[in-house]
Structure 1
Amino acid sequence: MAATFKALMAELRWRGLWGTVRAIKMNKMGTMQCFVGEDKFKNRFFENKNETYGRDRWVEYVDDRNPDSLKITPEWHAWLHHNVDEPPTDHPLPKPIYQAEETGNPTGTREAYVPPHHKLAKNSVGSASEKYESWRPGSEAADTEVDDRKDVLDLK
């Protein structure tokens, strides 16, 4: 009983209260020894070789209420999906010069993309229907002279 209490207290110190509750719910209690590493976003990565293949590697996101899979670096993503065997903490890969910084998914935030004429656009003035006018036969645009040359496809 004392060993279980010590293990629980160690988990509480390492994961915090809600992290420990989440670990109990996910049946991952006592997996501190399976800790592999942490990425720059403070997400924690684990590997338990006694688990079934495909369930042996997992991530615990730093923001448990809003887990964002786009906040995982490509190196850790490759390790999670068994594309590489060694975690990136052992052999960090050089970053290509053309690769941009990893960002989260802005959907649902103020940084989300909005078309220019949408009501939520930052510089929106009126609606798109006010900015364009439809073509009407008999208007000035329709009265322009038509070129009488033969069409390119007219072979007669």
Structure 2
Amino acid sequence: MGINLNPFTWWNGASWGTVLYGLRGKTKVGEDAMGNAYWEGGSDTAGRPRRWVIYVGANDASRVPPAWFSWLHHQIDDIPDRALPPPRAWQKPALANLTGTALAYRPAGALEKGGHRAAATGDYEAWTPEG
């Protein structure tokens, strides 16, 4: 079913029309660790170079790493590998939004983690209108 929908749908990734016709005469400037491709060409209404991303997989803006986000929004002029310092050893790689997946954060007491939470410590005092 996926191969039949690809020519017509944009939410499953770039359609064939985008790849075949929309990128003609444009320049591919790089790729991120997730495989997304970044392109530049033409100019926007402000006269700046037009920049965009072609996602690998579903179109999800949370899958754009912060460095490439800066490039897409003209916060830096050159591609991130040349314009930004190398990442520090303590920095973690960017992750896509995990909400709605099995890897999403679940606090203690969430039903997905068993539904048990720590007992109240006794420091809570309910408000009453007379008090």
TM-score normalized with structure 2 length = 0.63
Contact 2:42 2:49 in 1 (8 A): no
Indicate which of 75, 87, 101 corresponds to 1:83.
75
Between the two structures, name the one with larger relative contact order (CA 8 Å, sep ≥ 6): 2
SS at match of 2:68: helix
Structure 1: segments with no counterpart, 5+ residues: 1-17, 136-156
Structure 2: segments with no counterpart, 5+ residues: 1-12, 123-131
Q: 1:29 to 1:95 in 2, by over 3 A?
A: closer
Q: Which has the larger radius of gyration?
A: 1
Contact 1:20 1:29 in 2 (8 A): no
How far did 1:92 drift? Answer: 5.7
More helix by share: 1
CA distance in 1, matches of 2:15, 2:100: 29
- Answer yes or no: is 1:70 the counterpart of 2:62: yes
Q: Percent identity?
A: 29
Contact 2:76 2:83 in 1 (8 A): no
- Answer yes or no: is 1:52 the counterpart of 2:52: no
CA distance in 2, matches of 1:99, 1:19: 30
Q: Give the number of aligned pairs.
A: 108
Deviation >6 Å, runs of 4+? none
Q: 1:112 to 1:86 in 2, by over 3 A?
A: same
More strand by share: 2
How far did 1:113 drift? Answer: 1.4
1:109-120 matches, cutoff 5 A: 109-120=101-112
TM-score normalized with structure 1 length = 0.55
- Answer yes or no: is 1:21 the counterpart of 2:16: yes
